[in-house]
């Protein structure tokens, strides 16, 4: 039956049931429409943003600070604030994620209780809305036990926690994808387990880990909900110089500019969106470069 | 600090750490306008409150005496370099800048942001001011947890909040910083001159609950016997402080409003719409109404005690119903710790007229300013 369909689908479709082929075509058209709809929406948004924000995309805007007057408004403190928050959170989460993934993939058995317990936790955490992390950070990091206040350190810590589950999943997938023959070969040549992991498994998993974690960092870069809880401010005319400083981030400035009563601020919001998109694009480009450079064929 | 006669403009380079510089790469700065200020020469709008040291004399860019930034002709204001004493801007004794942390009402935000901008210009960055917009309630929550130095509020602190502050040992001084006034405007050809608050309520009330489409579609639905005809409503978008203020005045709650009206964040849309349609009615800030008096007619408001015209004087004395004072709450312990906070508030009061005009608020009266000065000095 199946063989027949593949060898001569047209005759079969017309003889067996007249509606089959047309249904096939309808489905294909449906797929096309869905895809075009997505692309068109995205393109409309991008083009609209670019056209609106282009005029404001000047050096004065990039080097300016938040300002009550639209003509002087800029996003320097927000760009640096975003970097100050996202880079430490990304690096911190990456380190913890790789360690966790190595432990789970190399040191525990798939059916062990600890693995099941941790799996359940990671999967649950990965699905938690970001604002919940914001509330958690407000209660335990900004206030409460740690009491770091509404600072860069708090924001980096909470965003790190937020992207950790995604990074662990990515790192585990990458480590699992390393062929076991590689491990066995290394062991057979007399390497210890740790040497095998450090010199064979982790380097081989780098492309997958890099791709996954940079996606996580991109998410942190575009995040605003938890940071509103964590005191990202509307008016900050200075750049952070340490983890104890106050800060603002680009998504928050976009929100602030977009909801400002004077319409001239809409242009600033669009320009800030372009800056954010460029930063995200750069990150994704970096992911592709790392993946391609360290890819190995087995 | 400025022996070479360079501008006092805040250098933004100093604050960036090496790590951030390397990380960003794309952001580097130079803010040094090469200008030689001369006494009474004109200066630019963007340099307002900047100070320059010209061979030992301190000049500050100010609004020229006789001209005004005020609402009627804001673009007619002229700016000149004027002589000031060093003491007038040399706040703070050491070079490290103090932080002033503010949070609270988004209605008060523009006022404090303008103040921060000018304070920064005048003191060449003696204070790093940060302002959040958590809302009046959210601001007080942080304030009473000792997380901010100044709380911005569009209403006075309530009993619960005051109790929280007392429990945490936070003592503060309340200062009225500006007056918020709204004008209700109609087409100049509309015969109406005075509207009752209850009529406004009927016009803007949602059909049921606190939001949703309203019932009134004709002027006669809200004002019995009115013959203007179809009602066309123009109002502020729900993001704006104007929206919150208007609803508080009319319905008693900042979020209660009908939703089927022409909502805009741009007051100009309202001005044009109201000017074009006989049946249109809208609202916006009082200072804006004075600017557009020819296109839109501002109505008198009767809140049970007779018709009162919207004017700066009636807003300031509290007889006009759609007016309220805006507050800041200054933490006493914060002032004791860093005196620059007191200087910041004083700076605002010294220049309240210019700043209020810039942020489109009704300025304080002389009496209000003096009361506020007394409160600040007593901290």
CA-wise closest residue to B151 among B202, B96, B112: B112
Q: Does A231 contact B at CB distance below 8 Å?
A: yes
Which residue from B12, B27, B359 is facing A62, i.e. has the nearest CB?
B27
Q: What residues in A contact B115, CB-CB < 8 Å?
A: none
Please say if the pLDDT value at position B17 is more than 80.
Answer: no
Taking only the tens place, the pLDDT of each residue in B215-251 is 889 999 999 888 888 999 998 887 667 888 899 899 9
Claim: this prediction has a pTM higher than 0.90: no
Flag whether residue A70 sits within 8 Å of chain B, measured between CB atoms: no
- Tell me the average pLDDT across B78-106: 72
Confidence of residue A297 (pLDDT cuts 50, 70, 90): low
Interface residue of A74, A235, A257 to substitute, partner B, most B CBs within 10 Å: A235
Q: Which two tokens stand for residue B79?
A: 């700016």
User: Which of A9-23, A152-166, B279-293 comes out lowest in average pLDDT?
Assistant: A9-23
The residue-averaged pLDDT of A268-287 equals 92
pLDDT number for residue B90: 59
Closest-CA distance of chain B to residue A249, Å: 13
Tell me the per-residue pLDDT of A172-195, one tens digit each, with 9 for 90 and over. Answer: 999 999 999 999 999 999 999 999
Shortest alpha-carbon distance between residue A255 and chain B (Å): 11
Which pairing describes strands B150-153 and B323-331: parallel, antiparallel, or unpaired?
antiparallel
Q: Residue B132 and residue A233: Cβ atoms within 8 Å?
A: yes
Residues pairing with B151 in the sheet = B103, B329
Given a cut of 60, is residue B260 above it in pLDDT? yes
B35, pLDDT greater than 70: no
Look at residue B20 and tell me whether its pLDDT is greater than 80.
no
- pLDDT, residue B8, reads 36
Does A238 contact B266 at a Cβ distance shorter than 8 Å?
A: no
Q: Which pLDDT belongs to residue B124?
A: 75
CATH code for A62-293?
Answer: 1.10.3720.10
C-alpha separations of B212 from A157, A211, B239, B331 in Å: 41, 47, 16, 40
Looking at the complex, report in whole angstroms how far the Cα of residue A234 sits from the nearest Cα belonging to chain B: 5
Check CB contact under 8 Å for B20 and A76: no
Tell me if B15 and A72 make a contact (CB, 8 A cut-off).
Answer: no
Q: What single DSSP character describes residue B3? A: T
Confidence check: pLDDT of B128 > 90: no
Per-residue pLDDT band for B19 (boundaries 50, 70, 90) equals very low
Domain boundaries, chain A: 2-56, 62-293
Q: What distance, in Å, lies between the first and last C-alpha atoms of chain A?
A: 38
> Which pLDDT score, from 0 to 100, does residue B66 have?
65
pLDDT reading at B290 higher than 70: yes
Asked if residue A12 has pLDDT above 60, the reply is no
Its ipTM equals 0.78
Percent of the residues in chain B that have a pLDDT greater than 70, as a whole number: 83
B324: phi then psi, degrees, rounded to nearest 5: -155, 150
Find chain A residues with C-beta within 8 A of B242's C-beta. 261
pLDDT at B279: 92
Domains and CATH numbers, chain B: 18-85 (no CATH), 98-178+330-378 (3.40.190.10), 181-323 (3.40.190.10)
pLDDT digits (tens, 9 = 90+) for A94-114: 999 999 999 999 998 888 888
Check residue B68 and give its pLDDT. Answer: 61
User: Of the given ranges (A84-98, A141-155, B32-46, B97-111), which has the lowest mean pLDDT?
Assistant: B32-46
Would the CB atoms of B109 and A235 count as touching at under 8 Å? yes
Q: How large is the average pLDDT for residues A152-165?
A: 94
Contacts of A235 in chain B (CB under 8 A): 109, 112-113, 116, 129-132
Among chain A residues, CA nearest to B129: A236
**Nearest residue on chain B to A75, alpha-carbon basis:** B27
The residue ranking higher by pLDDT, B154 or A296, is B154
- Gap between the Cα atoms of B141 and B138, Å rounded: 5
**Cβ–Cβ gap B20/A239 under 8 Å:** yes
If phi > 0 it is left, if psi is from -120 to 50 it is alpha, else beta; for residue B135 that is left
Say whether residue A147 is in contact with chain B using an 8 A CB cutoff: no
* Distance (Å, whole) CA A58 – CA A272: 11
A120 pLDDT higher than 60: yes
Higher per-residue pLDDT: B2 or A297 = A297
Whether B171 has a pLDDT exceeding 90, the answer reads yes
Q: In this predicted model, what pLDDT tens digit does every residue of B139-150 receive, in sequence order?
A: 899 999 999 999
CB pairs under 8 A between A and B: 100
| HSE value, Cβ hemisphere, 13 Å, CA-based, for A79 | 27
* Among B105, B97, B1, CA closest to A239: B97
Q: What pLDDT is stored for residue B106 in this prediction?
A: 80
Band (B5; pLDDT cuts 50, 70, 90): very low
> What is the average pLDDT across B364-370?
88
Q: Which residues of B touch A (CB under 8 A)?
A: 12, 15-17, 20, 23-24, 26-29, 46, 99, 101, 103, 109-110, 112-114, 116-117, 120, 125, 128-133, 142, 145, 147, 236-237, 239-242, 265-267, 358-359
Beta strands B211-212 and B257-258: pairing type?
Answer: parallel
Q: Are B39 and B57 in contact (CB under 8 A)?
A: yes
Give the mean pLDDT of B290-303: 89
Q: Which pLDDT band holds residue B120 (cuts at 50, 70, 90)?
A: confident
Of A71, A83, A256, the CB nearest to B23: A83
Check pLDDT > 70 for residue B75: no
Contact yes or no for A240 and B20 at CB 8 A: yes
CA distance B240 to chain A (A): 6
pLDDT value at B31 more than 80: no
Of A154-163, A230-239, B169-178, the poorest mean pLDDT is in: A230-239
Task: State the pLDDT at residue B349.
Answer: 92
Q: Name the band, by pLDDT with cuts 50, 70 and 90, for residue B330.
A: very high
**Quick check: A80 contacting B, CB < 8 Å?**
yes
Q: What is the pLDDT of residue B86?
A: 63
Q: A96 phi and psi, to 5 degrees?
A: -65, -40
Q: What is the pLDDT of chain B when averaged over all its residues?
A: 81
Contacts of B233 (CB under 8 A, 6+ apart): B203, B204, B258, B260, B261, B262, B280, B281, B282
């Amino acid at each position: 039956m199946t063989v027949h369909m593949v060898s001569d689908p047209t005759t079969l479709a017309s003889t067996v049931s007249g509606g089959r082929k047309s249904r096939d075509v309808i489905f294909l058209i449906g797929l096309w429409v869905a895809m075009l709809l997505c692309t068109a929406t995205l393109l409309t948004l991008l083009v609209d943003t670019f056209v609106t924000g282009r005029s404001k995309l000047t050096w004065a805007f990039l080097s300016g600070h938040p300002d009550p007057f639209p003509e002087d408004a800029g996003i320097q403190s927000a760009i640096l604030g975003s970097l100050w928050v996202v880079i430490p959170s990304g690096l911190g989460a990456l380190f913890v994620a790789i360690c966790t993934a190595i432990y789970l993939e190399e040191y525990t058995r798939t059916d062990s209780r600890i693995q099941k317990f941790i799996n359940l936790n990671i999967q649950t955490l990965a699905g938690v809305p970001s604002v919940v992390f914001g509330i958690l950070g407000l209660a335990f990091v900004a206030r409460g036990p740690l009491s770091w206040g509404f600072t860069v350190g708090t924001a980096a810590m909470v965003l790190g926690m937020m992207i950790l589950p995604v990074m662990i999943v990515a790192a585990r997938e990458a480590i699992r994808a390393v062929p076991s023959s590689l491990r066995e070969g290394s062991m057979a040549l007399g390497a210890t387990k740790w040497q095998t992991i450090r010199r064979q498994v982790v380097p081989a998993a780098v492309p997958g880990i890099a791709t996954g974690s940079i996606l996580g960092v991109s998410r942190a870069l575009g995040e605003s909900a938890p940071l509103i809880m964590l005191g990202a401010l509307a008016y900050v005319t200075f750049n952070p110089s340490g983890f104890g400083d106050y800060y603002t981030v680009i998504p928050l400035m976009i929100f602030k500019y977009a909801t400002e009563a004077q319409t001239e601020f809409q242009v600033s919001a669009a320009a800030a969106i372009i800056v954010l998109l460029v930063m995200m694009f750069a990150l994704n480009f970096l992911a592709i470069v790392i993946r391609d450079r360290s890819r190995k064929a087995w | 600090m400025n022996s070479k006669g360079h501008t006092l403009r805040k250098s933004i380079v100093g604050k960036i750490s090496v790590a951030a510089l390397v990380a960003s790469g794309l952001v580097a700065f130079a803010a040094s306008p090469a200008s030689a200020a001369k006494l009474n020469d004109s200066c630019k709008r963007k340099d307002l409150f900047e100070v320059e040291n010209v061979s030992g004399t301190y000049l500050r860019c100010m609004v020229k005496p006789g001209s005004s930034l005020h609402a009627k002709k804001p673009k007619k204001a002229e700016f000149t370099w004027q002589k000031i004493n060093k003491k007038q801007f040399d706040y703070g004794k050491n070079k490290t800048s103090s932080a002033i942390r503010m949070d609270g009402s988004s209605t008060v935000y523009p006022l404090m942001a303008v103040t921060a901008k000018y304070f920064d210009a005048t003191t060449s960055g003696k204070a790093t001011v940060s302002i959040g917009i958590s809302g009046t309630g959210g601001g007080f929550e942080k304030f009473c947890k000792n997380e901010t130095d100044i709380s911005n509020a569009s209403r006075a602190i309530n009993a619960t909040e005051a109790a929280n502050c007392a429990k945490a040992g936070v003592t503060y001084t309340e200062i009225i910083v500006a007056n918020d006034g709204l004008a209700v405007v109609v087409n100049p050809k509309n015969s109406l001159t005075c509207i009752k608050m209850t009529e406004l309520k009927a016009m803007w009330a949602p059909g049921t609950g606190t939001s949703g489409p309203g019932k009134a579609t004709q002027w006669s639905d809200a004002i019995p016997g009115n013959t203007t005809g179809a009602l066309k409503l123009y109002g502020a978008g729900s993001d704006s402080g104007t929206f919150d203020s208007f609803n508080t005045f009319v319905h008693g709650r900042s979020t209660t409003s009908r939703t089927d009206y022409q909502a805009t964040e741009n007051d100009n849309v309202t001005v044009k719409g109201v000017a074009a349609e006989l049946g249109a009615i809208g609202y916006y800030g009082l200072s804006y109404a004075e600017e557009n008096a020819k296109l839109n007619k501002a109505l008198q408001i009767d809140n049970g005690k007779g018709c009162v015209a919207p004017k700066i004087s009636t807003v300031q004395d509290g007889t006009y119903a759609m007016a309220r004072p805006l507050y800041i709450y200054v933490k006493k312990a914060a002032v004791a710790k860093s005196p620059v906070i007191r200087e910041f508030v004083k700076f605002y009061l010294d220049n309240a007229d210019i700043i209020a005009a810039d942020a489109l608020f009704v300025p304080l009266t002389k009496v209000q300013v003096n009361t506020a000065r007394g409160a600040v000095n007593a901290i």
